[in-house]
């Protein structure tokens, strides 16, 4: 007679292996989420450092966005419009498609983070004023957690936004060098440690979490327009906490805790409070956090 395992023994062993596999999957999954969050935090630090380097070299912060300039060439008639390439683009050059600006400044001309044209999106990054300061690394612009959540539905070319407080260069032609447009001068910005510089964009999933507040949107630019109710994106979960990575004008980076209800698989955020918090951060206002709610403080 040959000895072997009984059916009960086999079932016990299989059960133990199943339990161990479940535990290990949970551990590795958490580690992967932590690794993506760490990479996102590193990207935010690199962008903040790039802005500091740019500011020290140019005496001003980068513009949040770029707008093409159209000037009338009076020598060839008032109907002739001469286009001028933006020599001071935003941190990402939304309007440039390589060598020249778009044919017209309109919603259709703006290159968004989910642009289907990889060439245009690549030029938006390489023509942006921070490209050389991030070692020409495209991965610096993308949060890996954002890529994971989007999956096959669309990989973002960037997943961070710059505070609209830093404006657009709306000055014309060569005069932009003398007037400075509506730029913010580096080293002369009050409350630089409290004014938001960069944040993550919320996940685009056809819900009310759209950055522009419109359901079904599949694209967005690179500017956080808090004046239009756009919000920061708390995209990372650690334990029972939901976090958004944010960078400030003085160069420091924080993990901003966002309270939520429900469970970690389906967290529900109070969007009204998040919208208020986004506005306070973008304007550098003082606020307090009691662990559940953010409240504005009087200066």
The residues spanned by each domain of the chain are 31-171+190-296
Structure confidence at residue 78 (pLDDT): 42
Report which listed range, 50-59, 65-74, 215-224, 254-263, is most confident. 50-59
Measured between alpha carbons, how far is 275 from 48 in angstroms, rounded to an integer? Answer: 23
Q: Give yes or no for residue 141 having a pLDDT over 70.
A: yes
Structure confidence at residue 237 (pLDDT): 84
Structure confidence at residue 173 (pLDDT): 40
User: Which residues, 6 or more positions from 159, have their beta carbon under 8 angstroms from its beta carbon?
Assistant: 113, 141, 142, 143, 146, 147, 200, 201
Measured between alpha carbons, how far is 39 from 142 in angstroms, rounded to an integer? Answer: 9
Give the rounded distance of the alpha carbon of 102 from its chain centre.
Answer: 23
Q: Give yes or no for residue 82 having a pLDDT over 50.
A: no
Structure confidence at residue 71 (pLDDT): 46
Higher pLDDT, 75 or 137: 137
Q: Give yes or no for residue 61 having a pLDDT over 90.
A: yes
Q: Give yes or no for residue 235 having a pLDDT over 90.
A: no
Alpha carbon distances (Å) from 166 to 7, 138, 185, 230: 70, 23, 10, 16
Q: What is the mean pLDDT of the chain?
A: 76
Is pTM beyond 0.85? Reply is no
Q: Give yes or no for residue 265 having a pLDDT over 60.
A: yes
Higher pLDDT, 244 or 264: 244
């Amino acid at each position: 007679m040959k000895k072997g395992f009984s059916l009960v023994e086999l079932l016990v062993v299989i059960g133990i292996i199943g339990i161990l596999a479940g535990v290990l999957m949970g551990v590795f999954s958490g580690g992967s989420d932590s690794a993506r969050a760490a990479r996102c935090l590193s990207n935010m630090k690199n962008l903040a450092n790039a802005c500091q380097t740019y500011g020290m070299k140019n005496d001003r912060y980068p513009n949040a966005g770029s707008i093409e300039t159209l000037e009338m060439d009076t020598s060839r008639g008032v109907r002739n419009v001469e286009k001028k390439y933006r020599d001071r683009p935003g941190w990402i050059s939304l309007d440039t498609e390589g060598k020249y600006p778009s044919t017209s400044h309109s919603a259709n001309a703006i290159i968004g983070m989910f642009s289907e044209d990889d060439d245009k999106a690549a030029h938006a990054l390489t023509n942006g004023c921070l490209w050389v300061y991030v070692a020409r690394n495209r991965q610096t612009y993308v949060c890996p957690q954002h890529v994971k959540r989007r999956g096959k539905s669309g990989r973002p070319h960037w997943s961070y936004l710059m505070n609209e407080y830093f404006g657009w260069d709306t000055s014309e032609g060569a005069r932009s060098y003398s007037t400075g447009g509506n730029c913010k001068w580096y080293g002369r910005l009050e409350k630089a440690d409290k004014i938001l510089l960069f944040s993550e964009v919320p996940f685009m999933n056809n819900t009310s979490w759209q950055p522009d507040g419109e359901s079904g949107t599949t694209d967005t630019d690179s500017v956080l327009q808090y004046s239009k109710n756009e919000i920061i994106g708390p995209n990372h979960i650690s334990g029972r906490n939901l976090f958004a990575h944010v960078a400030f004008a003085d160069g420091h980076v924080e993990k901003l805790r966002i309270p939520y209800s429900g469970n970690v698989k389906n967290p529900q955020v109070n969007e009204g409070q998040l919208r208020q918090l986004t506005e306070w951060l973008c304007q550098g206002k003082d606020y307090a956090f009691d662990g559940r709610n953010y409240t504005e403080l009087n200066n």
